[in-house]
Amino acid sequence: MAAPLRKEHPIFRILNSTFVDLPLPSNLSIWWNSGSLLGLCLVVQILTGIFLAMHYTADITLAFSSVMHILRDVNYGWFLRYVHANGVSLFFICMYCHIGRGLYYGSYNKIETWNVGVILFLVTILTAFMGYVLVWGQMSFWAATVITNLVSAIPYIGTIIVQWLWGGFSVDNATLTRFFPFHFLFPFIIAALAVIHLVFLHNSGANNPFAFNSNYDKAPFHIYFTTKDTVGFILLVAALFSLALLFPGALNDPENFIPANPLVTPPHIQPEWYFLFAYAILRSIPNKLGGVIALVAAILVLFLMPLLNTSKNESNSFRPLSQAAFWLLVAHLFILTWIGSQPVEYPYVLLGQVASVLYFSLFIFGFPIVSSIENKIIFS
């Protein structure tokens, strides 16, 4: 009897081994849905982005008006724009859930997959930032000015690099015209990196909530995980449509409905909600270079997770102290996000500094020490 086409055809065979016959641990919880949801978010962002790009004009005299033209004059342009602008929020919600799941269940022990994931996170941050600038509203312009200026903190060559990034001596037309193609290109780099992420993942096999060897109990991707992911997809689309169609401005800054004006600084410059935790860490250090290093370290510290891991049991499922440390980290992220949205004044500055120190302490000292204590309790 001949094998089915999906197992014989050179291309279908790859798809089959990725999405149909792939054996997965049968005990994967809903937190494992975040990966497929991220894939859906990427597809939605790329599709809506392509159609938006057809009507967008990357010129500082026309950029804001072209966005307003999309909102008012293009057929369902407002729908495309609202889905794209709110889709990024859901993208980051899924990404934070995905990273959180990785931290909780020890997915960082699959080092190649984890490292590519952190790179994906970094590229996504860059892509989102450049997309935010394209609107050329007040907050777009000043966010671009503040963030690109951070590079000037690099000793000796900082100013040269900043001017090279700007394409001039300030954020101007050259900056916008280069951010646009990068914002268009980067999602495809993200897609390529996601494929690499999956290749590494499927090479080592998926983790599971207990982090036990799951070879004894696996279920094929189709029909089990296709039906499970479908439920996740529908919930995500429902959340996206609720945001885009019923509360489109809930997560956006009103300042971005004012055209960019280099002569008027908004009273509170702040990034979108998904970058607020990093922004709070940046502001917590009075020194510019120190703040930039802390900002970058807040993301790059994820690379250290495999090295800092001292636990003999990968998952937190049976480690109550590590669970407490993890939820403490989550609480700190919420606090930092809140601090990032507040003005730079007492008591927010002090709270931000305390939360920042605890954020890094948890990664560098908290998790390893707690895991060592648990090792002694469980294994000795």
Reference 41, options 183, 197, 232; nearest CA is: 232
CB of 271: closest distance to another protein in angstroms?
17
Scanning the structure block, which residue is given the tokens 């497929």? Answer: 36
Stretch that binds another protein, among 97-105, 226-234, 278-286, 298-306 (CB under 8 A): 226-234
Run of H or E including 219: strand 218-220
Residues of this chain, 236-265, that bind another protein according to CB under 8 A: 237-238, 241-242, 244-246, 248-249, 254-255, 257-258
Task: Pick the closer one to another protein by CB: 26 or 57.
Answer: 26
CB of 275: closest distance to another protein in angstroms?
20
Q: Does residue 221 sit in helix, strand or coil?
A: helix
Task: Pick the closer one to another protein by CB: 60 or 292.
Answer: 60
**Is 79 an interacting residue with respect to another protein (CB under 8 A)?**
yes
Does 197 show up as a binding residue in the annotation? yes
Q: Which residues pair with 137 in a beta bridge?
A: 259
For the purposes of burial, counting CB atoms within 10 Å of the CB of 273, is it exposed (0-12), middle (13-18) or buried (19 or more)? middle
Task: Pick the closer one to another protein by CB: 93 or 292.
Answer: 93
CB of 185: closest distance to another protein in angstroms?
30
Query: In sequence order, what are the residues at sequence separation of 6 or more whose Cβ sits closer than 8 angstroms to the Cβ of residue 345?
Result: none
**Is 303 an interacting residue with respect to another protein (CB under 8 A)?**
no
Q: How many whole angstroms separate alpha carbon 271 and alpha carbon 337?
A: 10
**Is 358 an interacting residue with respect to another protein (CB under 8 A)?**
no
* Contact between 322 and 367 (Cβ < 8 Å): yes
Does 202 show up as a binding residue in the annotation? yes
For the purposes of burial, counting CB atoms within 10 Å of the CB of 238, is it exposed (0-12), middle (13-18) or buried (19 or more)? exposed
Q: Does residue 328 sit in helix, strand or coil?
A: helix
Reference 370, options 327, 303, 299, 309; nearest CA is: 309
Q: Within a 13 Å sphere around the CA of 219, how many CA atoms are in the beta-carbon half? A: 13
Q: Which residues pair with 299 in a beta bridge?
A: none
Q: Which of 29, 159, 230, 265 binds another protein (CB under 8 A)?
A: 230
Task: Pick the closer one to another protein by CB: 38 or 240.
Answer: 240
Q: Which of 224, 273, 303, 360 binds another protein (CB under 8 A)?
A: 224
CB of 26: closest distance to another protein in angstroms?
5
Q: How many whole angstroms separate alpha carbon 198 and alpha carbon 35?
A: 10
Task: Pick the closer one to another protein by CB: 149 or 356.
Answer: 356
**Is 220 an interacting residue with respect to another protein (CB under 8 A)?**
no
Task: Pick the closer one to another protein by CB: 43 or 331.
Answer: 331
CB of 314: closest distance to another protein in angstroms?
21
B/e letters for 275-286, b = 16+ CB within 10 Å, e = fewer, are: bbbbbbbbbbbe
Task: Pick the closer one to another protein by CB: 66 or 109.
Answer: 66
CA dist 299 to 94, 123, 302, Å?
Answer: 16, 11, 6
Q: Which of 72, 156, 376, 380 binds another protein (CB under 8 A)?
A: 72
Binding positions for another protein, rule: CB under 8 A: 26, 65, 68, 71-72, 78-79, 82, 219, 223-224, 227-228, 230-231, 234-235, 237-238, 241-242, 244-246, 248-249, 254-255, 257-258, 267, 331, 335, 338, 342, 345, 347-348
Known binding residues for a ubiquinone are 202
